[in-house]
Amino acid sequence: MNMLLLMTVLAITMAIASIIISIYLLRQTRNLKRSIEILTFGLNARRLERKLSELAERPRKRYVVFEIVAGQDLSEADIRRSLYELARDVLGESGFIKSGFQLVYFNNTTNRGIIRVREPYKLKALGVLGLLREISGVQVLATPLSTSGTIKRAKKIADMK
């Protein structure tokens, strides 16, 4: 009988130990699951943050001030048309659209103008000005004078003589 009692106590002890181990493992599994969820959420938040910052970071605009030297007076419409045609040829249609190339100001008295362009395309815009040789059959020379980050400063330069 002593042996039977010892075996019963041993079986009950093993059952209790098994239950305790199961509860412990269940708690650890829940904690591990929470930790994995927190890590996953953190990684997703970082990815989302990176994506938002990429979307928020638009290229800055640059204003290129230039002067046109020509033998006769030219209209702003002719200058705009010639610049846009040349820019489309040099940059291609998609590059022209992505660059945001635009003649935003032209002063007929000083023959100076301002081109707005996104920063990665600034050097290409300067190249377009360097390639401009003729407007409406008139030989011209387009000289870039300065670049600026604000249109206010660019207009000051364009209006100076």
Residues 103-126: tens digit of each pLDDT: 999 998 999 999 999 999 999 999
Contacts by 141-145 with C-beta closer than 8 Å and gap 24+?
Answer: 141/68, 141/69, 141/70, 142/66, 142/67, 142/68, 142/69, 143/66, 143/67, 143/68, 143/69, 144/64, 144/65, 144/66, 145/65, 145/66, 145/67, 145/112
Kindly report, residue by residue over 20-74, the tens digit of the pLDDT.
888 888 888 887 787 777 767 766 777 767 776 776 677 889 999 999 999 888 8
Q: Provide the whole-model pTM.
A: 0.64
| AA letter at 149 | G
**Do residues 124 and 78 lie in contact, with contact meaning Cβ atoms separated by under 8 Å?**
no
Which of 133, 73, 127, 79 minimizes the C-alpha distance to 102? 79
Positive or negative, the Cα torsion across 76, 82, 84, 87? negative
Phi, psi of 137 (to 5 degrees): 80, 0
What tokens were used for 3?
Answer: 């042996």
- Average pLDDT over the chain, rounded to whole? 87
Mean per-residue pLDDT, 145-159: 94
- Cβ partners under 8 Å of residue 74, min gap 6: 68, 111, 135, 136, 138, 140
